[in-house]
Structure 1
Amino acid sequence: MSSDFEGYEQDFAVLTAEITSKIARVPRLPPDEKKQMVANVEKQLEEAKELLEQMDLEVREIPPQSRGMYSNRMRSYKQEMGKLETDFKRSRIAYSDEVRNELLGDDGNSSENQRAHLLDNTERLERSSRRLEAGYQIAVETEQIGQEMLENLSHDREKIQRARERLRETDANLGKSSRILTGMLRRSQRHMVKKTDKKTRKIVSLHCKSENYFHFQNPDSNLGQGHSRGLKITLRCLCLCPLPRYPLR
């Protein structure tokens, strides 16, 4: 990446040096040669602009941490390009003393006024061009900032989606755990009911055997009736004191 940029830099330096030399020769040339030289310089200026565009593209692809140095160099090259264009515009309307005297004769003062007016207009155009270039640079920087913001928003969106998926998985696991605990509680209650039912049957069986035994030994005795009343009291206690029930979810 940097090697390509440096190659463009060398080409730009050679081209600008040649343009500077030709611009200095333009005012001293005869009209025919001057016209040809002006066309040649215009072509080379276009080539220099294309080199600047290539260099600008290379700078945009350089990582941000290394881009600052190349951006400063690009600004200096653009300023140099602007100066070349200014000098070229002035050289196109400038003439050497001999050529001016030959063309204008005694109307030199009028020509000087026209020349000053043209230079003033040229400077205005240059200021407008600089403002346009500054606006373009601001637009490019704004575009870069917008791209960075979009990338950050995209990363944040991915994080939110991952967090949402984790919450859904956690909710599903909690629901599964709740169902497992509910099933365990129900099985525990059924086990307690079965266990209590067995104890009740055992107590009833013992009372029945005891009553039959006493009735067999003493048919006329009231002990059997006492045991019967005891059995009724026990069953009534079991009915009045039911097993605790836990709420099922």
Structure 2
Amino acid sequence: MSSDFETYEQDFGTLTAEITSRIVKIPKLAGVCSDGNDPEDEKKNMVVSVEKQLEEARELLEQMDLEVREIPVQSRGMHSTRLKSYKQELEKLEKDFKRSRIAYSDEVRDELLGDDGNSSESQLIKLRDERAHLLDNAEKLERSSRRLEAGYQIAVETEQVGQEILENLHHDREKIQRSRDRLRETDANLGKSSRILTGMLRRIIQNRILMFILGVIILFTVVLAIYFSVRGL
């Protein structure tokens, strides 16, 4: 189980390194490419590629999350901490990518405005308003993502607590079962002891009755002997 988690970790590390390298390159792509391609096309392709890699990174985190859930509770803490740090790293990459795309959009806007020196002030204001609107939406999405992440974390922690409670209840049930078995065994032994004592008491009573009868017989014999001896005189 942990070997699969480590494999996902290695893939995640390689993928995030590539994402970081490409995010840094996005705002810097300018001029004519070495292969003669349009630099704008290269930028767009780079953005699309980073988006796909970020999606792959999210899928890797989901796989690691599933692996962590299968790990026993007593050894799950270390993997959960590592997974949490990977999620934070991915969030940072997404923020860097967002800033990189904003810088790229500003650069495209400057190029468009540069081609037409007589662009009106209203167009510039409109672009600024659109940018502010996009930033506001991005912040809202980020806050929603944080709330979802917090809710998910609470659900995971609740699941862990539930599993621990179930394990404790299982251990308690085993203890109660063992105590019940011991009580049954003790009860059986007490039953045997009671039967033995009852048998011993019965034999004692029988012996006393026999002794009483024997004593009566002996006494009667002695009385007869004395009677006949006195009568013979």
Normalised TM-score (structure 1): 0.75
Tell me the CA shift for residue 2 of structure 1.
Answer: 5.5
- Give the corresponding residue for 1:47: 56
Q: Which entry has the higher C-alpha Rg, 1 or 2? A: 1
99-108 or 77-86, which moves further after superposition? Answer: 99-108
Say if 2:125 is the partner of 1:116.
Answer: no
Selected match of 1:83 from 92, 95, 115:
92
In structure 2, the CA distance between the partners of 1:200 and 1:147, relative to structure 1 (3 Å rule), is same
Kindly indicate whether the alpha-carbon contact (under 8 Å) linking 2:26 and 2:43 is maintained by their aligned counterparts in 1.
Answer: yes
Q: Distance in 2 between matches of 1:98 and 1:186?
A: 111
33-42 or 53-62, which moves further after superposition? Answer: 53-62
Number of residue pairs matched by the alignment = 217
Q: Secondary structure at the match of 2:88?
A: helix
Tell me the CA shift for residue 136 of structure 1.
Answer: 0.5
Q: Which runs of 5+ in 1 are unaligned?
A: 218-249
Task: Provide, for residues 162-192 of structure 1, a one-character-per-residue CA deviation record: whole Å limited to 9, x for no partner.
Answer: 1112112211221221121112111111111
Q: Distance in 1 between matches of 2:11 and 2:111?
A: 39
Task: Provide, for residues 169-219 of structure 1, a one-character-per-residue CA deviation record: whole Å limited to 9, x for no partner.
Answer: 2112212211211121111111111112112112212222222222232xx
Kindly indicate whether the alpha-carbon contact (under 8 Å) linking 1:90 and 1:119 is maintained by their aligned counterparts in 2.
Answer: no
In structure 2, the CA distance between the partners of 1:203 and 1:169, relative to structure 1 (3 Å rule), is same
In structure 2, the CA distance between the partners of 1:22 and 1:160, relative to structure 1 (3 Å rule), is same
Tell me the CA shift for residue 143 of structure 1.
Answer: 0.2
Q: Distance in 2 between matches of 1:3 and 1:147?
A: 23
Selected match of 1:158 from 171, 174, 183:
174
Say if 2:153 is the partner of 1:137.
Answer: yes
Q: Secondary structure at the match of 2:49?
A: helix
Q: Distance in 2 between matches of 1:97 and 1:135?
A: 35
Aligned AA (1:100): R
Q: How does 1:198-209 map to 2 (within 5 A)?
A: 198-209=214-225
Q: Distance in 2 between matches of 1:196 and 1:170?
A: 39
- Give the corresponding residue for 1:185: 201
Aligned AA (1:22): R
- Give the corresponding residue for 1:173: 189
Say if 2:115 is the partner of 1:99.
Answer: no
In structure 2, the CA distance between the partners of 1:68 and 1:197, relative to structure 1 (3 Å rule), is closer
In structure 2, the CA distance between the partners of 1:3 and 1:55, relative to structure 1 (3 Å rule), is same
Normalised TM-score (structure 2): 0.80
186-195 or 47-56, which moves further after superposition? Answer: 47-56
Kindly indicate whether the alpha-carbon contact (under 8 Å) linking 1:100 and 1:108 is maintained by their aligned counterparts in 2.
Answer: no
Q: Distance in 1 between matches of 2:72 and 2:162?
A: 17
Tell me the CA shift for residue 153 of structure 1.
Answer: 0.3
Q: Distance in 2 between matches of 1:89 and 1:97?
A: 12
Kindly indicate whether the alpha-carbon contact (under 8 Å) linking 2:22 and 2:50 is maintained by their aligned counterparts in 1.
Answer: yes
In structure 2, the CA distance between the partners of 1:97 and 1:187, relative to structure 1 (3 Å rule), is closer
Q: Distance in 2 between matches of 1:9 and 1:181?
A: 72
Aligned AA (2:223): H
134-143 or 191-200, which moves further after superposition? Answer: 191-200
Return the structure number with greater relative CO, CA threshold 8 A, min gap 6.
2
Aligned AA (2:58): K
56-65 or 154-163, which moves further after superposition? Answer: 56-65
Say if 2:25 is the partner of 1:25.
Answer: yes
Aligned AA (1:216): G
- Give the corresponding residue for 2:65: 56
Tell me the CA shift for residue 80 of structure 1.
Answer: 1.5
Identity across matched positions, percent: 68
